[in-house]
Amino acid sequence: MAKVLDGNRIRDEIKTECRSRVEQLISRGRAPGLAVVLVGHNPASEIYVRNKVKTSQELGIAGETITPPEDITTVELLAIVGSLNQRSDIDGILVQMPLPSHIDARRIVEAILPAKDVDGLHPCNAGNLVTGRPGPRPCTPAGIIELLKRCRIPIAGQRAVVVGRSDLVGKPAAFLLLHENATVTICHSKTPDLPAVCREAEILIAAIGRPALITSAYIRPGATVIDVGINRLDNRADVERIFPHDRPGSAQKLEVFDRKGSLLVGDAHPFDVAESAGAYTPVPGGVGPLTIAMLMSNTIDSAERRIGSC
């Protein structure tokens, strides 16, 4: 059976290191400061923000949540970001995505000071990533690299395939792997013979947002599969297709669906990846826990740079 890469364990390691770093900063004058801006009442975003704030409090980071109304304008939101840019007690600014459709999200991201952009999405930080210069890295791709390293999965000299080309995960993950001396291919929905390309990978990053797409036909035997997908199924027929009655564990998954009305699955087929891969991340409990941990690490990085320069 494939080795399960436990994201919760790696998250806890990173959090322990973060606590020590926060204590050192407090001894030098103040705690790191993180401001989270949550516009409106998106239920999923509210859960994400609640988890981020909870983690920051656990670590001793001074957190602040700003909750403007759904109908805030782009100009008004820019003013909030501008005021946070000016505050000396705020080291990191995170504007929770997605924003309401009437807001120009690109202008908002570009308004955040690059030094306080703890999501690593500002064009300056994207350029720093591409060219290998220091700066905050997008949290999920940075978490993937931490997971591989701490689980002692070799990266240098390996063939890596990234399925998905988003600015948030796919592209930055590819560049981070490249900087670790992997040979990297980026694939997407228009890639001809996608399964054949994926089968070349010794490290396969699934970040395309399609539930259970990556079957055994895509997986090189013994490869490491990092499943970034978080897909919520709300149709029982879809759950039954992925978890047929004759497979062990399917009954429990169907019970969870019937109780909650939905079920989370990744981009990799749960049975196929367990049988074909050498190591893989489960969903949930794989990459997801690392995203918030790396957000905390980015915030502390920013505080260390800013307090050190005072």
Sequential pLDDT tens for the chain (310 residues): 789 999 999 999 999 999 999 999 999 999 999 999 999 998 888 988 999 999 999 999 998 999 999 999 999 999 999 999 999 999 999 999 999 999 999 999 999 999 999 999 999 999 999 999 999 999 999 999 999 999 999 999 999 999 999 999 999 999 999 999 999 999 999 999 999 999 999 999 999 999 999 999 999 999 999 999 999 999 999 999 999 999 999 999 999 999 999 999 999 999 999 999 999 999 999 999 999 999 999 999 999 998 875 5
| Whether residue 41 is found in the same domain as residue 178 | no
Tell me whether residue 253 is one of the annotated catalytic residues: no
| Whether residue 155 is found in the same domain as residue 212 | yes
Rounded CA-CA distance 162/167 in Å is 13
| Whether residue 97 is found in the same domain as residue 150 | no
| Whether residue 152 is found in the same domain as residue 224 | yes
| Whether residue 99 is found in the same domain as residue 225 | no
| Whether residue 143 is found in the same domain as residue 109 | no
Rounded CA-CA distance 250/180 in Å is 38
Virtual torsion, Cα 124, 116, 298, 126, nearest 10 deg: -10
The count of structural domains within the chain is 2
Rounded CA-CA distance 231/235 in Å is 12
Residue 226: what residue type?
I
| Whether residue 106 is found in the same domain as residue 149 | no
Residues of the domain holding 91? 29-115
Are 175 and 233 a contacting pair, CB within 8 Å?
no
Tell me whether residue 3 is one of the annotated catalytic residues: no
Question: Which among 91, 116, 117, 119 is annotated as catalytic?
Answer: 119
Question: Which among 52, 116, 171, 253 is annotated as catalytic?
Answer: 52
| Whether residue 270 is found in the same domain as residue 172 | yes
Rounded CA-CA distance 117/124 in Å is 10
| Whether residue 100 is found in the same domain as residue 146 | no
Structure tokens at 133: 């210069």
Question: Which among 91, 96, 116, 227 is annotated as catalytic?
Answer: 96
* CATH number, residue 92: 3.40.50.10860
Tell me whether residue 252 is one of the annotated catalytic residues: no
pTM above 0.75, yes or no: yes
* CATH number, residue 196: 3.40.50.720
